[in-house]
Amino acid sequence: MQQTTRSILLAALKQDGSFTLSQIIETMAILAGKPQLGGEIHSLLLTQAQVSRLLSCSRWSVKRLVQDGLLKPVQLRGLTRYRRVDIEQLASGG
């Protein structure tokens, strides 16, 4: 799939508002021809880089979201992670 087509589809799915972030990710993976494992478990915690890819923003924007109190990181044995449900809620405008 061409990058332009991918960007248009991603923007349309996000704008629709009736899809969760997980559904958008799964849809884009299917359209890209990536194999899906039935009932695949998605990570509950995400890295800063994964969050920035999911939100289509820079890693600096993720840092600003944390500074503004819109996103709360989780510390796990010295690692900084972000809860997937928080990201989905943020993306849905909650």
22-62 confidence digits (pLDDT tens): 778 777 777 777 655 554 456 789 999 999 988 889 999 99
What per-residue string of b and e applies to 42-63 under the rule 16 or more CB within 10 Å gives b?
eeeebebebbbebbeeeeeebe
Mean pLDDT of 62-78: 94
Lowest mean pLDDT segment, chosen from 6-10, 36-40, 88-92:
36-40
Tell me, what amino acid is at 92?
S
φ, ψ for residue 30, nearest 5 deg = -65, -45
Helix segments in 34-83, DSSP class H: 48-55, 59-67
Q: Is the entire prediction scored with pTM above 0.75?
A: no
Query: Between residues 21 and 77, which one has the greater pLDDT?
Result: 77
Residue 13 has pLDDT above 80, yes or no: yes
What's the number of domains the chain is made of?
Answer: 2
32 shares a domain with 4:
yes
Domain that holds residue 52: 45-91
Cβ neighbours of 81 (radius 10 Å): 17
28 shares a domain with 49:
no
Mean pLDDT of 68-89: 92
Long-range contacts of 52-58 (CB under 8 A, 24+ apart): 54/21, 54/25, 54/87, 54/91, 55/87, 55/90, 55/91, 56/10
56 shares a domain with 85:
yes
51 shares a domain with 36:
no
